[in-house]
Protein backbone atom coordinates (compact mmCIF):
# COMPACT_ATOMS: atom_id res chain seq x y z
CA UNK A 1 0.00 0.00 0.00
CA UNK A 2 1.53 3.30 -1.10
CA UNK A 3 1.38 5.97 1.57
CA UNK A 4 -0.38 9.28 0.97
CA UNK A 5 0.81 12.62 2.32
CA UNK A 6 -1.54 12.23 5.30
CA UNK A 7 -0.18 8.76 5.97
CA UNK A 8 3.33 10.16 5.93
CA UNK A 9 2.40 12.79 8.48
CA UNK A 10 0.75 10.21 10.73
CA UNK A 11 3.62 7.76 10.48
CA UNK A 12 6.13 10.45 11.38
CA UNK A 13 4.37 10.82 14.74
CA UNK A 14 5.04 7.19 15.64
CA UNK A 15 6.86 6.47 18.90
CA UNK A 16 9.19 3.48 18.95
CA UNK A 17 10.92 1.49 21.69
CA UNK A 18 13.96 -0.55 20.65
CA UNK A 19 15.19 -3.44 22.78
CA UNK A 20 18.67 -4.51 21.69
CA UNK A 21 19.47 -1.05 20.38
CA UNK A 22 23.26 -1.45 20.23
CA UNK A 23 23.17 -4.65 18.16
CA UNK A 24 23.11 -5.01 14.39
CA UNK A 25 19.31 -4.89 13.98
CA UNK A 26 18.90 -2.28 16.70
CA UNK A 27 21.37 0.19 15.21
CA UNK A 28 19.82 -0.21 11.77
CA UNK A 29 16.35 0.25 13.27
CA UNK A 30 17.48 3.55 14.76
CA UNK A 31 18.67 4.72 11.34
CA UNK A 32 15.32 3.71 9.84
CA UNK A 33 13.47 5.53 12.63
CA UNK A 34 15.54 8.66 12.08
CA UNK A 35 14.88 8.63 8.32
CA UNK A 36 11.13 8.39 8.95
CA UNK A 37 11.05 11.03 11.67
CA UNK A 38 10.00 8.66 14.47
CA UNK A 39 10.59 9.56 18.09
CA UNK A 40 12.29 7.09 20.42
CA UNK A 41 10.55 6.30 23.70
CA UNK A 42 13.02 3.83 25.20
CA UNK A 43 16.26 2.05 24.38
CA UNK A 44 17.65 -1.12 25.93
CA UNK A 45 20.83 -3.14 25.45
CA UNK A 46 23.11 -5.49 27.37
CA UNK A 47 26.22 -3.62 28.51
CA UNK A 48 27.70 -1.34 25.84
CA UNK A 49 27.91 1.89 27.83
CA UNK A 50 29.65 3.96 25.17
CA UNK A 51 27.24 3.03 22.39
CA UNK A 52 24.20 3.56 24.61
CA UNK A 53 25.40 6.97 25.74
CA UNK A 54 25.80 8.00 22.10
CA UNK A 55 22.30 6.78 21.28
CA UNK A 56 20.80 8.61 24.24
CA UNK A 57 22.42 11.89 23.26
CA UNK A 58 21.34 11.48 19.65
CA UNK A 59 17.79 10.15 20.03
CA UNK A 60 16.73 11.53 23.44
CA UNK A 61 14.74 8.56 24.81
CA UNK A 62 12.80 8.87 28.05
CA UNK A 63 14.14 5.53 29.34
CA UNK A 64 17.47 3.77 28.79
CA UNK A 65 18.27 0.29 30.05
CA UNK A 66 21.49 -1.68 30.27
CA UNK A 67 20.89 -5.22 31.45
CA UNK A 68 24.24 -5.33 33.27
CA UNK A 69 23.87 -3.41 36.54
CA UNK A 70 27.46 -2.13 36.70
CA UNK A 71 27.20 -0.87 33.14
CA UNK A 72 23.89 0.83 33.97
CA UNK A 73 25.45 2.55 37.00
CA UNK A 74 28.25 3.84 34.79
CA UNK A 75 25.75 5.03 32.17
CA UNK A 76 23.70 6.84 34.80
CA UNK A 77 26.72 8.95 35.74
CA UNK A 78 27.60 9.67 32.12
CA UNK A 79 24.12 11.00 31.21
CA UNK A 80 23.26 12.76 34.44
CA UNK A 81 23.06 16.01 32.47
CA UNK A 82 20.13 14.61 30.44
CA UNK A 83 16.46 14.00 31.20
CA UNK A 84 16.56 10.22 30.92
CA UNK A 85 15.69 7.48 33.39
CA UNK A 86 18.32 4.72 33.53
CA UNK A 87 17.44 1.20 34.68
CA UNK A 88 18.98 -2.28 34.64
CA UNK A 89 18.23 -6.00 34.75
CA UNK A 90 15.11 -7.84 33.63
CA UNK A 91 12.93 -5.39 35.56
CA UNK A 92 14.46 -2.58 33.53
CA UNK A 93 13.90 -4.40 30.25
CA UNK A 94 10.26 -5.00 31.11
CA UNK A 95 9.84 -1.38 32.22
CA UNK A 96 11.17 -0.18 28.87
CA UNK A 97 8.97 -2.65 26.99
CA UNK A 98 5.85 -1.50 28.82
CA UNK A 99 6.54 2.25 28.58
CA UNK A 100 4.02 4.35 26.66
CA UNK A 101 4.83 3.92 22.96
CA UNK A 102 3.28 2.81 19.66
CA UNK A 103 5.44 -0.20 18.82
CA UNK A 104 8.22 -2.17 20.49
CA UNK A 105 10.98 -3.55 18.30
CA UNK A 106 12.50 -6.50 20.16
CA UNK A 107 15.93 -7.37 18.77
CA UNK A 108 17.65 -8.66 21.90
CA UNK A 109 19.46 -11.97 21.49
CA UNK A 110 18.28 -15.08 23.28
CA UNK A 111 15.70 -16.23 25.77
CA UNK A 112 16.07 -12.95 27.66
CA UNK A 113 13.68 -11.44 25.10
CA UNK A 114 10.63 -13.46 26.14
CA UNK A 115 9.57 -11.62 29.31
CA UNK A 116 9.89 -8.13 27.75
CA UNK A 117 7.77 -9.29 24.80
CA UNK A 118 5.02 -10.40 27.18
CA UNK A 119 5.34 -7.15 29.15
CA UNK A 120 5.01 -5.08 25.97
CA UNK A 121 1.93 -6.99 24.82
CA UNK A 122 0.27 -6.79 28.22
CA UNK A 123 0.81 -3.01 28.01
CA UNK A 124 -1.06 -3.03 24.70
CA UNK A 125 1.89 -2.45 22.35
CA UNK A 126 2.33 -3.97 18.91
CA UNK A 127 5.57 -5.93 18.49
CA UNK A 128 8.12 -5.74 15.68
CA UNK A 129 9.81 -9.05 16.39
CA UNK A 130 13.45 -9.84 15.64
CA UNK A 131 13.96 -12.02 18.72
CA UNK A 132 13.42 -15.58 17.49
CA UNK A 133 13.59 -17.12 20.95
CA UNK A 134 10.38 -15.35 22.02
CA UNK A 135 8.31 -17.59 19.76
CA UNK A 136 10.62 -20.61 19.81
CA UNK A 137 10.41 -20.99 23.59
CA UNK A 138 7.04 -19.41 24.29
CA UNK A 139 5.09 -19.66 21.03
CA UNK A 140 1.74 -20.82 22.43
CA UNK A 141 1.84 -18.34 25.32
CA UNK A 142 2.93 -15.42 23.13
CA UNK A 143 0.31 -16.03 20.44
CA UNK A 144 -2.44 -16.47 23.04
CA UNK A 145 -1.40 -13.22 24.74
CA UNK A 146 -1.43 -11.46 21.37
CA UNK A 147 -4.93 -12.73 20.62
CA UNK A 148 -6.23 -11.81 24.07
CA UNK A 149 -4.77 -8.29 23.98
CA UNK A 150 -5.44 -7.64 20.28
CA UNK A 151 -1.73 -7.22 19.51
CA UNK A 152 -0.12 -7.36 16.08
CA UNK A 153 3.20 -9.20 15.82
CA UNK A 154 5.09 -7.90 12.80
CA UNK A 155 8.10 -10.01 11.78
CA UNK A 156 11.51 -8.39 11.30
CA UNK A 157 13.62 -11.41 10.34
CA UNK A 158 14.09 -11.22 6.58
CA UNK A 159 12.62 -14.70 6.00
CA UNK A 160 9.48 -14.14 8.04
CA UNK A 161 9.06 -10.62 6.72
CA UNK A 162 9.19 -12.12 3.22
CA UNK A 163 6.45 -14.63 4.05
CA UNK A 164 4.40 -11.87 5.69
CA UNK A 165 4.76 -9.65 2.63
CA UNK A 166 3.77 -12.48 0.28
CA UNK A 167 0.69 -13.16 2.40
CA UNK A 168 -0.58 -9.61 1.93
CA UNK A 169 -2.05 -10.78 -1.36
CA UNK A 170 -3.73 -13.89 0.03
CA UNK A 171 -7.32 -14.62 -1.03
CA UNK A 172 -10.12 -14.59 1.57
CA UNK A 173 -9.74 -18.34 2.12
CA UNK A 174 -5.96 -17.89 2.62
CA UNK A 175 -5.28 -21.09 0.61
CA UNK A 176 -1.65 -21.40 1.71
CA UNK A 177 -0.25 -24.86 1.02
CA UNK A 178 3.41 -24.45 1.95
CA UNK A 179 5.97 -21.98 3.29
CA UNK A 180 9.48 -22.12 1.85
CA UNK A 181 12.16 -20.52 4.01
CA UNK A 182 15.44 -19.72 2.29
CA UNK A 183 18.82 -20.11 3.96
CA UNK A 184 22.20 -18.84 2.84
CA UNK A 185 23.85 -22.04 4.01
CA UNK A 186 26.31 -20.05 6.12
CA UNK A 187 30.09 -20.27 5.78
CA UNK A 188 30.19 -24.08 5.72
CA UNK A 189 27.80 -24.89 2.89
CA UNK A 190 28.84 -28.18 1.26
CA UNK A 191 31.22 -29.18 4.04
CA UNK A 192 31.28 -32.74 5.38
CA UNK A 193 31.20 -33.75 9.03
CA UNK A 194 34.91 -34.59 8.95
CA UNK A 195 35.70 -31.16 7.50
CA UNK A 196 33.80 -29.47 10.32
CA UNK A 197 35.66 -31.22 13.14
CA UNK A 198 38.45 -28.61 13.23
CA UNK A 199 36.31 -25.50 12.73
CA UNK A 200 37.25 -22.58 15.00
CA UNK A 201 35.04 -19.72 16.24
CA UNK A 202 36.92 -17.40 13.88
CA UNK A 203 36.02 -19.64 10.93
CA UNK A 204 32.37 -19.83 11.97
CA UNK A 205 32.01 -16.07 12.35
CA UNK A 206 32.69 -15.41 8.65
CA UNK A 207 29.19 -15.21 7.19
CA UNK A 208 29.12 -14.86 3.38
CA UNK A 209 26.20 -12.41 3.08
CA UNK A 210 25.08 -10.84 6.36
CA UNK A 211 26.71 -8.82 9.14
CA UNK A 212 25.23 -10.02 12.44
CA UNK A 213 26.11 -10.52 16.09
CA UNK A 214 28.30 -13.44 17.13
CA UNK A 215 25.53 -15.68 18.49
CA UNK A 216 23.33 -15.35 15.42
CA UNK A 217 26.32 -15.82 13.11
CA UNK A 218 27.24 -19.09 14.84
CA UNK A 219 23.59 -20.15 14.59
CA UNK A 220 23.83 -19.55 10.86
CA UNK A 221 26.99 -21.62 10.65
CA UNK A 222 25.34 -24.57 12.43
CA UNK A 223 22.05 -23.95 10.57
CA UNK A 224 20.35 -23.76 13.97
CA UNK A 225 19.18 -20.35 12.86
CA UNK A 226 17.01 -21.92 10.18
CA UNK A 227 15.64 -24.48 12.60
CA UNK A 228 14.63 -21.70 14.97
CA UNK A 229 13.01 -19.85 12.08
CA UNK A 230 11.00 -22.94 11.17
CA UNK A 231 9.59 -23.04 14.70
CA UNK A 232 8.93 -19.30 14.63
CA UNK A 233 7.14 -19.58 11.28
CA UNK A 234 4.87 -22.28 12.65
CA UNK A 235 3.58 -19.84 15.28
CA UNK A 236 3.61 -16.62 13.28
CA UNK A 237 1.64 -18.02 10.35
CA UNK A 238 -0.27 -20.90 11.99
CA UNK A 239 1.16 -23.45 9.55
CA UNK A 240 1.89 -27.07 10.47
CA UNK A 241 5.63 -27.88 10.56
CA UNK A 242 5.17 -30.51 7.85
CA UNK A 243 4.14 -27.69 5.50
CA UNK A 244 7.26 -25.60 6.10
CA UNK A 245 10.28 -26.34 3.91
CA UNK A 246 13.85 -25.05 3.92
CA UNK A 247 15.90 -24.47 0.78
CA UNK A 248 19.51 -23.30 0.54
CA UNK A 249 19.80 -20.12 -1.52
CA UNK A 250 23.38 -18.88 -1.47
CA UNK A 251 22.77 -15.39 -2.85
CA UNK A 252 20.23 -14.31 -0.17
CA UNK A 253 18.18 -12.43 -2.76
CA UNK A 254 15.00 -14.53 -2.52
CA UNK A 255 14.13 -14.12 1.14
CA UNK A 256 11.30 -16.68 1.29
CA UNK A 257 8.35 -17.98 -0.71
CA UNK A 258 4.82 -19.26 -0.24
CA UNK A 259 2.97 -21.84 -2.30
CA UNK A 260 -0.81 -21.59 -2.68
CA UNK A 261 -3.27 -24.42 -3.18
CA UNK A 262 -3.31 -23.78 -6.94
CA UNK A 263 0.50 -24.38 -7.03
CA UNK A 264 1.27 -20.71 -7.62
CA UNK A 265 4.47 -19.73 -5.77
CA UNK A 266 4.98 -16.15 -4.65
CA UNK A 267 8.42 -14.92 -3.58
CA UNK A 268 9.77 -11.74 -2.01
CA UNK A 269 13.11 -10.56 -3.36
CA UNK A 270 15.51 -7.79 -2.44
CA UNK A 271 19.17 -7.06 -1.84
CA UNK A 272 20.44 -8.59 1.43
CA UNK A 273 19.83 -5.54 3.62
CA UNK A 274 17.95 -5.72 6.94
CA UNK A 275 16.68 -2.15 6.63
CA UNK A 276 13.95 -3.36 4.26
CA UNK A 277 12.22 -5.78 6.68
CA UNK A 278 12.87 -3.45 9.64
CA UNK A 279 11.18 -0.55 7.89
CA UNK A 280 8.24 -2.64 6.69
CA UNK A 281 7.56 -3.87 10.23
CA UNK A 282 7.62 -0.30 11.55
CA UNK A 283 5.48 1.23 8.78
CA UNK A 284 3.08 -1.61 7.87
CA UNK A 285 0.69 -1.51 6.03
CA UNK A 286 2.38 1.37 4.20
CA UNK A 287 5.59 1.48 2.18
CA UNK A 288 8.05 4.34 1.96
CA UNK A 289 11.29 5.04 0.16
CA UNK A 290 14.08 3.04 1.80
CA UNK A 291 17.72 4.02 1.44
CA UNK A 292 19.05 0.66 0.24
CA UNK A 293 20.50 -0.46 -3.05
CA UNK A 294 17.99 -1.30 -5.78
CA UNK A 295 17.86 -4.97 -6.78
CA UNK A 296 19.21 -5.45 -10.31
CA UNK A 297 18.89 -9.12 -11.24
CA UNK A 298 21.27 -8.71 -14.17
CA UNK A 299 24.04 -7.95 -11.67
CA UNK A 300 23.48 -11.32 -10.02
CA UNK A 301 23.32 -13.30 -13.26
CA UNK A 302 21.83 -16.39 -11.65
CA UNK A 303 20.15 -17.48 -8.44
CA UNK A 304 20.93 -20.94 -7.07
CA UNK A 305 18.94 -23.31 -4.86
CA UNK A 306 19.95 -26.52 -3.08
CA UNK A 307 18.39 -28.98 -0.62
CA UNK A 308 19.49 -28.64 3.02
CA UNK A 309 21.87 -31.19 4.54
CA UNK A 310 20.03 -32.35 7.66
CA UNK A 311 22.55 -35.11 8.40
CA UNK A 312 25.56 -32.81 8.63
CA UNK A 313 23.75 -29.81 10.14
CA UNK A 314 21.80 -31.71 12.76
CA UNK A 315 20.51 -28.61 14.55
CA UNK A 316 17.89 -28.12 11.83
CA UNK A 317 16.63 -31.65 12.32
CA UNK A 318 16.57 -31.21 16.11
CA UNK A 319 14.40 -28.11 15.75
CA UNK A 320 12.01 -29.81 13.36
CA UNK A 321 11.68 -32.77 15.73
CA UNK A 322 11.16 -30.38 18.66
CA UNK A 323 8.25 -28.52 17.09
CA UNK A 324 6.70 -31.76 15.81
CA UNK A 325 6.81 -33.21 19.34
CA UNK A 326 5.57 -29.89 20.70
CA UNK A 327 5.16 -28.99 24.34
CA UNK A 328 8.33 -27.61 25.88
CA UNK A 329 10.70 -29.31 23.43
CA UNK A 330 11.33 -26.13 21.40
CA UNK A 331 12.27 -24.29 24.60
CA UNK A 332 14.63 -27.16 25.42
CA UNK A 333 16.57 -27.14 22.14
CA UNK A 334 16.79 -23.36 22.29
CA UNK A 335 18.23 -23.41 25.82
CA UNK A 336 20.75 -26.09 24.90
CA UNK A 337 21.82 -24.11 21.87
CA UNK A 338 22.38 -20.88 23.81
CA UNK A 339 24.64 -22.69 26.25
CA UNK A 340 26.46 -24.64 23.53
CA UNK A 341 27.14 -21.55 21.40
CA UNK A 342 28.56 -19.68 24.39
CA UNK A 343 30.82 -22.63 25.22
CA UNK A 344 32.00 -22.85 21.61
CA UNK A 345 32.79 -19.14 21.41
CA UNK A 346 34.79 -19.52 24.63
CA UNK A 347 36.77 -22.37 23.10
CA UNK A 348 35.42 -24.94 25.57
CA UNK A 349 33.75 -27.28 23.05
CA UNK A 350 34.12 -28.07 19.37
CA UNK A 351 31.84 -26.91 16.56
CA UNK A 352 30.17 -30.30 16.12
CA UNK A 353 29.49 -30.47 19.85
CA UNK A 354 26.87 -27.75 19.40
CA UNK A 355 24.64 -30.03 17.34
CA UNK A 356 25.28 -32.96 19.65
CA UNK A 357 24.22 -30.99 22.74
CA UNK A 358 21.17 -29.51 21.00
CA UNK A 359 20.02 -32.95 19.82
CA UNK A 360 20.61 -34.39 23.29
CA UNK A 361 18.15 -31.88 24.72
CA UNK A 362 15.36 -33.80 23.01
CA UNK A 363 16.00 -36.78 25.28
CA UNK A 364 15.62 -35.08 28.66
CA UNK A 365 12.32 -35.63 30.51
CA UNK A 366 10.18 -32.49 30.51
CA UNK A 367 6.94 -31.53 32.26
CA UNK A 368 3.75 -30.85 30.37
CA UNK A 369 3.27 -27.18 29.45
CA UNK A 370 0.61 -25.42 31.49
CA UNK A 371 0.41 -22.06 29.70
CA UNK A 372 2.45 -20.29 32.36
CA UNK A 373 5.59 -18.26 31.72
CA UNK A 374 7.16 -19.74 34.86
CA UNK A 375 6.98 -23.27 33.45
CA UNK A 376 8.85 -22.15 30.31
CA UNK A 377 11.52 -20.38 32.37
CA UNK A 378 11.92 -23.42 34.65
CA UNK A 379 12.43 -25.65 31.62
CA UNK A 380 14.96 -23.22 30.19
CA UNK A 381 16.97 -23.21 33.44
CA UNK A 382 16.80 -27.01 33.74
CA UNK A 383 18.08 -27.62 30.20
CA UNK A 384 20.86 -25.06 30.60
CA UNK A 385 22.04 -26.92 33.68
CA UNK A 386 21.83 -30.33 31.96
CA UNK A 387 23.64 -29.05 28.85
CA UNK A 388 26.43 -27.46 30.86
CA UNK A 389 26.91 -30.70 32.79
CA UNK A 390 26.90 -32.76 29.58
CA UNK A 391 29.53 -30.51 28.03
CA UNK A 392 31.76 -30.75 31.08
CA UNK A 393 31.38 -34.52 31.21
CA UNK A 394 32.45 -34.90 27.59
CA UNK A 395 35.71 -33.03 28.28
CA UNK A 396 36.82 -35.47 30.98
Round to whole Å and give the CA distance between 378 and 365.
Answer: 13
Strand pairing partners for 308? none
Q: Indicate whether 50 and 18 sit together in one domain.
A: yes
Q: What is the per-residue pLDDT for 1? A: 60
Residue 283 belongs to some domain of the structure: no
Q: Indicate whether 230 and 375 sit together in one domain.
A: yes
Cβ–Cβ < 8 Å for 78, 42: no
Q: Indicate whether 228 and 326 sit together in one domain.
A: yes
Cβ–Cβ < 8 Å for 222, 196: no
Round to whole Å and give the CA distance between 50 and 327.
Answer: 41
Phi, psi of 19 (to 5 degrees): -100, 125
Q: Indicate whether 69 and 180 sit together in one domain.
A: no
Q: Indicate whether 144 and 202 sit together in one domain.
A: no
pLDDT tens-digit profile, the chain (396 residues): 655 555 666 677 899 999 999 999 999 999 999 999 999 999 999 999 999 999 999 999 999 999 999 999 999 999 999 999 999 999 999 999 999 999 999 999 999 999 999 999 999 999 999 999 999 999 999 999 999 999 999 999 999 999 999 999 888 888 999 999 999 999 999 999 999 999 999 999 986 666 667 899 999 999 999 999 999 999 999 999 999 999 999 999 999 999 999 999 999 999 999 999 999 999 999 999 998 999 999 999 999 999 999 999 999 999 999 999 999 999 999 999 999 999 999 999 999 999 999 999 999 999 998 889 999 999 999 999 999 999 998 765
In 3D, which of 47, 44, 43, 50 has the Cα closest to residue 78?
50
Round to whole Å and give the CA distance between 163 and 243.
Answer: 13
Residue 201 belongs to some domain of the structure: yes
**Domain-ending residue, one of 105, 130, 156:** 156
In 3D, which of 65, 89, 90 has the Cα closest to residue 76?
65
Q: Indicate whether 358 and 232 sit together in one domain.
A: yes
Q: Indicate whether 205 and 104 sit together in one domain.
A: no
Residue 193 belongs to some domain of the structure: yes
Torsion, CA 186, CA 188, CA 190, CA 196, rounded to 10: -150
Round to whole Å and give the CA distance between 150 and 15.
Answer: 19
254-260 vs 176-183, strand pairing mode: antiparallel
Residue 291 belongs to some domain of the structure: no
Round to whole Å and give the CA distance between 178 and 243.
Answer: 5
This model's pTM is above 0.85: yes
Q: Indicate whether 113 and 26 sit together in one domain.
A: yes
Q: Indicate whether 127 and 207 sit together in one domain.
A: no
**Domain-ending residue, one of 121, 156, 191:** 156
Identify the domain containing residue 229 by its residue range. 169-272+297-395
Round to whole Å and give the CA distance between 388 and 58.
Answer: 41
Question: Who contacts 190 (Cβ-Cβ below 8 Å, separation ≥6)?
Answer: none
Q: Indicate whether 57 and 195 sit together in one domain.
A: no
pLDDT digits (tens, 9 = 90+) for 61-70: 999 999 999 9
pLDDT digits (tens, 9 = 90+) for 291-304: 899 999 999 999 99
Cβ–Cβ < 8 Å for 149, 126: no
Q: What is the per-residue pLDDT for 211? A: 62
CA atoms within 13 A of residue 88's CA, in its CB half-sphere? 12
Residue 164 belongs to some domain of the structure: no
- CATH number, domain with residue 388: 1.10.1740.10
Count of structural domains within the chain: 2
Q: Indicate whether 304 and 180 sit together in one domain.
A: yes
Q: Indicate whether 250 and 343 sit together in one domain.
A: yes
Residue 286 belongs to some domain of the structure: no
In 3D, which of 120, 112, 106, 107 has the Cα closest to residue 149?
120
Tell me the CA distances in angstroms from 372 to 43, 156, 211, 335, one per residue in order: 27, 26, 35, 17
Round to whole Å and give the CA distance between 163 and 237.
Answer: 9
Question: Who contacts 58 (Cβ-Cβ below 8 Å, separation ≥6)?
Answer: none
Amino acid sequence: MTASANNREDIAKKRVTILGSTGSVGTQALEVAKSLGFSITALAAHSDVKAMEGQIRRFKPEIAVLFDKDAADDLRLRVRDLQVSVASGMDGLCEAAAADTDIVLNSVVGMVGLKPTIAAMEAGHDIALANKETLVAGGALVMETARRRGIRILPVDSEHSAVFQCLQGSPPNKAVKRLILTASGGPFFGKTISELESVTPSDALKHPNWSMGSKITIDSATMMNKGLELIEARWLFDVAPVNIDIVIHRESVVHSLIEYDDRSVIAQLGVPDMKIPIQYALTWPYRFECGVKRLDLTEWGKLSFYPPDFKTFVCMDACRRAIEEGGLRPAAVNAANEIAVALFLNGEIGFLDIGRLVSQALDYPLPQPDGRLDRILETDAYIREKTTAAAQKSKR
